[in-house]
Amino acid sequence: MNDTTLIGGVTFVYLLAFLFYLLRMVLGREPLGVIASWTARIGFAMQSAALLLRWKNSYDLGIGHVPLANFYESLVFFAWAILLLYLVTEWKTRNRSLGTFVLPVAFLALGYASIAPGVSDHIQPLVPALQSNWLTIHVLTCFLGYAAFACAFGLGIMFLVKEKTGAAKEGLFRRLIPATEVLEELIYQAVCLGFILLTLGIMTGSVWAHYAWGSYWSWDPKETWSLITWIVYAVMLHARSVRGWRGKRLAWLALVGFASVLFTYLGVNYLDSLHSYF
């Protein structure tokens, strides 16, 4: 079995895990949650194996590099990073509710990798500008940061769903979602982690840009939108720490921030950019 076939299987495993998480929320049956967690873990193990296999295959082809070099590989790694952070969060909080809101993001990332126009799943040699160890450091930090923001996005949706009605009117679905105070703290922690990683990603990207193109910053569309995304989350953290923003404001900012992440990652591809995958 090659790596792309394995990734295709992982896509459906994540869909299945999401359905189990959703059924657990709707029916309130914890055994479904246990099945969902094990399905997600199996999918994560399969995806890890697929990434390692793709890495090995690149060396077998004589063009060895980490599988982070093109759009297809970045989407696969994005989904992997989301599952990594989600499974850690589930383990730390002992709560499976977030899986209902985060697993769809990982599933859609892998699904998009299969259908996006112009995306090739072939292992390709690196262009000269990418032949640097900074590639691994830059992409790892950026996409782990994106994954943290994806978790904050899911938590933001959970907060808005939980906050919509009073406790007396809550149905089973909402009762299984943690208290708003817990969600607010988790949003803050996820954004803090993502902000640190994105900051490191921008810094390592600047060093890499100087190495590859002779300039630390060129106001390329990807660089500009990365800065905009950084500012959005900086404002969010500032507003919480200094202005005392809580509750719905924080949840909405988590959604706005992730929209900026998606445009930075996907939308910029349609602009004339040194970072465009198309």
Looking at the structure, tell me whether residues 142 and 272 fall in a common domain: yes
Q: Is the dihedral of CA 128, 268, 148, 43 positive or negative?
A: negative
- Which of the four pLDDT bands, split at 50, 70 and 90, describes residue 191? very high
Is pLDDT above 50 for 148? Answer: yes
Res 166: pLDDT = 56
- Domain final position from 77, 104, 126: 126
Residue with tokens 């790694």: 77
Q: Do residues 133 and 223 both lie within one domain?
A: yes
Mean pLDDT of 104-117: 90
Confidence class for position 278, pLDDT limits 50, 70, 90: very low
Q: What is the total residue count of the chain? A: 278
Residue of 96, 92, 82, 102 whose CA lies nearest to 25: 96
Closest C-alpha among 108, 85, 77, 91 to residue 14: 108
Domain that residue 156 falls in: 128-278
Residues 107 and 147 in one domain: no
Closest CA to 232 of 253, 211, 250, 202: 253
- pLDDT value at position 125? 80
Check: CB of residue 246 under 8 Å from CB of residue 184: yes
3-state helix, strand, coil in the chain (%, to 5): 75, 0, 25
Last residue of a domain, one of 126, 152, 175: 126
| CA–CA dist 94, 236 (Å, integer) | 27
pLDDT in tens, 84-99: 999 999 999 999 999 9
Distance CA 91, CA 200 (A): 26
For the chain, the C-alpha Rg in angstroms (whole number) is 19
Which tokens go with 189?
Answer: 């922690």
How confident is the model over 204-220, as a mean pLDDT? 77
Q: How far apart are CA 34 and CA 17, in angstroms?
A: 10
CA 208 → CA 6, 15, 202, 257, distances in Å? 32, 36, 10, 25
- pLDDT grade, residue 9 (50/70/90)? very high
Is the same domain home to 36 and 155?
A: no
SS3 of residue 112 by DSSP: helix
User: What's the mean pLDDT in 242-248?
Assistant: 81
Position 116 pLDDT exceeds 90: no
* 3 and 110 within one domain: yes
Domain identity same for 117 and 165: no
Same domain, 193 and 98: no
When pLDDT is averaged across residues 21-32 and rounded to a whole number, the result is: 92
Q: Are residues 157 and 119 in the same domain?
A: no
For position 169, what pLDDT does the model report?
Answer: 59
| Counted domains in the chain | 2
CB atoms closer than 10 angstroms to residue 262: 16
Instruction: Out of 75, 100, 126, pick the residue that ends a domain.
Output: 126
Contact 216, 206 (CB under 8 A): yes
Q: Are residues 182 and 267 in the same domain?
A: yes
Distances (CA, A) of 171 to 94, 163, 167, 175, 224: 21, 12, 9, 6, 44
Q: Which residue has the higher pLDDT, 240 or 120?
A: 240
Q: Are residues 227 and 120 in the same domain?
A: no
Do both 249 and 156 map to the same domain? yes
Question: Do 138 and 4 fall within a single domain?
Answer: no
For the residues 165-180, what does the mean pLDDT come to? 73
Q: Which among 116, 110, 99, 112 has a CA at the least distance from the CA of 10?
A: 110
Residues 71, 269 contacting (CB under 8 angstroms): yes
